[in-house]
């Protein structure tokens, strides 16, 4: 069981109103893929930005006054502080309002929340990142953490599958990693209608044939739609992965982010407090998880 990342004594002002958002400015909007844009935010109060203790895999509650609040996972790595990058899919009321904002507009941010990936535990091991679709958004934080602290990890493998090249998130950035020797970057698309894709074509689990993975020394981080978990687990478990070396990001509807509102509960765990990163062991032992 991963320990919840609760640091009540030293957290930034937990005895203050936990629902009070801090104002942040949108400094850049990268219109990456239709309805999947990346918003770069910078806190107005530099002090808050400096004390923002994110870990790969944590999330923030992003609020647009008048529209509401939504949990959004952080796509930027804590090794590159100063700004926050949020990859947001336009899907609901809050994200719709966000897409109508422009650079220099203000939003509210509170957090970071969640346990994040247990990076200290993962140090010294190999890393296997498996992402499908929007699952790349939270895993990108871990990816850049590993690349920026490369000496802490053994072999690093990324497997990412998208529907087609046009819908691949962070495509330029990831394609530029393919030639690097310190990471085995495997990108695949289900179909390539344009015929210009130079990487793999086929379903995500097929990438397992292209990588050599030692389950005894590897931590696997998986994120994607439910079907990704199903098929990726079918490949990971026969390799001999122990259940506590498979880390999954599971999200639920949330309202508070601090374990009070009850919306994100899975059994007796709260996704915002004890998650969103759960081991596969947690997943099969929590009631109503899978």
Task: List the one residue from 28, 46, 65, 124 that touches another protein (CB under 8 A).
Answer: 65
For residue 177, give the DSSP letter: T
Specify the residue, 106 or 203, whose C-beta has the smaller distance to another protein. Answer: 106
Please tell me the distance from the alpha carbon of residue 174 to that of residue 172, in angstroms, as a whole number. 6
6 binds another protein (CB under 8 A): yes
Residues touching another protein, count (CB under 8 A): 45
Specify the residue, 32 or 261, whose C-beta has the smaller distance to another protein. Answer: 261
Specify the residue, 98 or 174, whose C-beta has the smaller distance to another protein. Answer: 98
For residue 74, give the DSSP letter: B
User: Do 247 and 277 contact (CB within 8 A), yes or no?
Assistant: yes
Interacting residues with another protein between 245 and 274 (CB under 8 A): 251-253, 255-256, 258-263, 265-268, 273
Structure tokens at 199: 């990487």
Please tell me the distance from the alpha carbon of residue 197 to that of residue 84, in angstroms, as a whole number. 30
Structure tokens at 4: 């919840």
- First and final CA of the chain: distance in angstroms? 16
284 binds another protein (CB under 8 A): no
Tell me the per-residue interface mask from 79 to 108 with another protein, x by CB under 8 A, - otherwise. ------------xxx-x----------x-x
Interacting residues with another protein between 192 and 231 (CB under 8 A): 226
Specify the residue, 20 or 196, whose C-beta has the smaller distance to another protein. Answer: 20
Q: How far is the CB of 159 from another protein (least distance, A)?
A: 23
Cα dist from 188 to 144, 192, 199, whole Å: 20, 10, 6
Task: List the one residue from 23, 147, 201, 237 that touches another protein (CB under 8 A).
Answer: 23
Instruction: 206-214: list long-range contacts, CB under 8 Å, 24+ apart.
Output: 207/159, 207/161, 208/159, 208/235, 208/239, 210/186, 211/128, 211/157, 211/159, 211/184, 211/186, 213/126, 213/128, 213/157, 213/239, 214/126
Task: List the one residue from 3, 9, 10, 17 that touches another protein (CB under 8 A).
Answer: 17
34 binds another protein (CB under 8 A): no
Specify the residue, 17 or 181, whose C-beta has the smaller distance to another protein. Answer: 17
Q: How far is the CB of 9 from another protein (least distance, A)?
A: 11
Please tell me the distance from the alpha carbon of residue 153 to that of residue 264, in angstroms, as a whole number. 32
Q: What residue ranges bind another protein (CB under 8 A)?
A: 4, 6, 8, 11, 14-21, 23, 63, 65-70, 91-93, 95, 106, 108, 226, 251-253, 255-256, 258-263, 265-268, 273, 287-288
């Amino acid at each position: 069981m991963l320990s919840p990342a609760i640091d009540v004594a030293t957290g930034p002002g937990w005895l203050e109103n936990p629902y009070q958002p801090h104002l942040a400015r949108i400094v850049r909007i990268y219109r990456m893929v239709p309805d999947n844009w990346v918003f770069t935010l910078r806190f107005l109060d530099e002090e808050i930005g400096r004390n923002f203790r994110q870990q790969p895999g944590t999330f923030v509650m992003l609020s647009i006054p008048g529209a509401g609040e939504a949990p959004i996972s952080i796509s930027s790595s804590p090794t590159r502080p100063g700004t926050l990058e949020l990859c947001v899919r336009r899907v609901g009321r809050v994200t719709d309002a966000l897409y109508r904002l422009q650079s220099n507009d203000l939003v509210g941010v509170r957090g970071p929340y969640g346990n994040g990936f247990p990076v200290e535990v993962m140090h010294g091991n190999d890393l296997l990142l498996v992402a499908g679709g929007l699952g790349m958004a939270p895993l990108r934080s871990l990816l850049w953490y590993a690349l920026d602290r490369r000496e802490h990890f053994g072999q690093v493998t990324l497997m990412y599958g998208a529907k087609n090249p046009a819908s691949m998130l962070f495509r330029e950035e990831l394609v530029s990693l393919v030639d690097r020797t310190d990471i085995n970057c495997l990108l695949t698309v289900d179909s390539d209608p344009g015929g210009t894709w130079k990487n793999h074509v086929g379903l995500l689990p097929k990438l397992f044939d292209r990588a050599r993975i030692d389950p005894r020394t590897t931590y696997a981080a998986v994120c994607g739609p439910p079907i990704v978990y199903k098929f990726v687990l079918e490949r990971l478990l026969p390799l001999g992965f122990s259940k506590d070396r498979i880390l999954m990001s599971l999200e639920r509807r949330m309202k508070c982010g601090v374990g009070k509102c009850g919306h994100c509960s899975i059994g007796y765990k709260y996704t915002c407090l004890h998650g969103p990163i759960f081991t596969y062991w947690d997943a099969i032992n929590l009631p109503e998880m899978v």
